[in-house]
Amino acid sequence: MATLPILHHPDPRLRKKTALVGRFDAELQRLIDDMFETMYAAPGVGLAANQVGVQLRLAVMDCSEEHDQPMVMVNPELLDHQERQEMEEGCLSVPDTRDKVTRFNRVRLRALDRNGQPYELEAEGLMAQCIQHEIDHLNGKLYIDYLSSLKRERIRRQLRKAAT
């Protein structure tokens, strides 16, 4: 396994909608393993493939405190959502920033697992938030897109300053 470099905003690859995964081969399995290693090392609770420069509809997550509940979402789609709630959020691609965004507290997800087997899942709280965050990534959207233009510009300035 390998730790992959995580792309940071404003890298344009983060803004591209990802392509459906069609092959469940050894290369995909290696990418999934590398993404988990990268996510845990960061540390984070979720990571989308386009955050490591791979334009596939693939994300990994582990919202458990013990990091013992890894979850793979291939070609995910939200089937239902309920209860809007303001939640604090951050992102590995927008380092050292956090802000409040409105998400759904409960969601129902359909996806494929790492072997291409379909599953459905109902989630709430942090897991629901993470699912929405990662699916946004796969659609080329960042959590900062939910913020006011003033807050987004402040974050852009912080990131430019940190990069110099």
pLDDT at 33 over 80: yes
What pLDDT band is residue 164 in, cutting at 50, 70 and 90?
Answer: confident
Residue written as tokens 């359909």?
Answer: 110
The full DSSP string for 34-101 is HHHHHHHHTT-SEEEGGGGT--BSEEEE---TTS---EEEEEEEEEEEEEEEEEEEEETTEEEEEEEE
CA 102 to chain centre: 16
How confident is the model at residue 157, as a pLDDT?
A: 86
How confident is the model at residue 62, as a pLDDT?
A: 98
Question: Which of 27, 83, 134, 153 is the catalytic position?
Answer: 134
What is the C-alpha to C-alpha distance for residues 164 and 147, in angstroms, rounded to an integer? 24
Clarify whether 134 is annotated catalytic.
yes
Domains and CATH numbers, the chain: 12-163 (3.90.45.10)
The count of other CB atoms within 10 Å of the CB of residue 37 is: 16
Half-sphere exposure of 145 (CA within 13 A, CB side): 14
What pLDDT band is residue 160 in, cutting at 50, 70 and 90?
Answer: confident
Instruction: Give 64-112 pLDDT, tens digit per residue.
Output: 999 999 999 999 999 999 999 999 999 999 998 999 999 999 999 999 9
Tell me the whole-structure pTM to 2 decimals: 0.94
How confident is the model at residue 7, as a pLDDT?
A: 97
How confident is the model at residue 101, as a pLDDT?
A: 96
Q: Which residues contact 84 (CB under 8 A, 6 or more apart)?
A: 102, 103, 104, 105
Half-sphere exposure of 78 (CA within 13 A, CB side): 21
CB distance 90 to 45 below 8 Å: no
pLDDT at 17 over 80: yes
Residue 147, helix vs strand vs coil: coil
pLDDT at 163 over 90: no
How confident is the model at residue 28, as a pLDDT?
A: 98
What pLDDT band is residue 158 in, cutting at 50, 70 and 90?
Answer: confident
Mean pLDDT across the chain, nearest whole number?
Answer: 95
Instruction: Give 37-49 pLDDT, tens digit per residue.
Output: 999 999 999 999 9
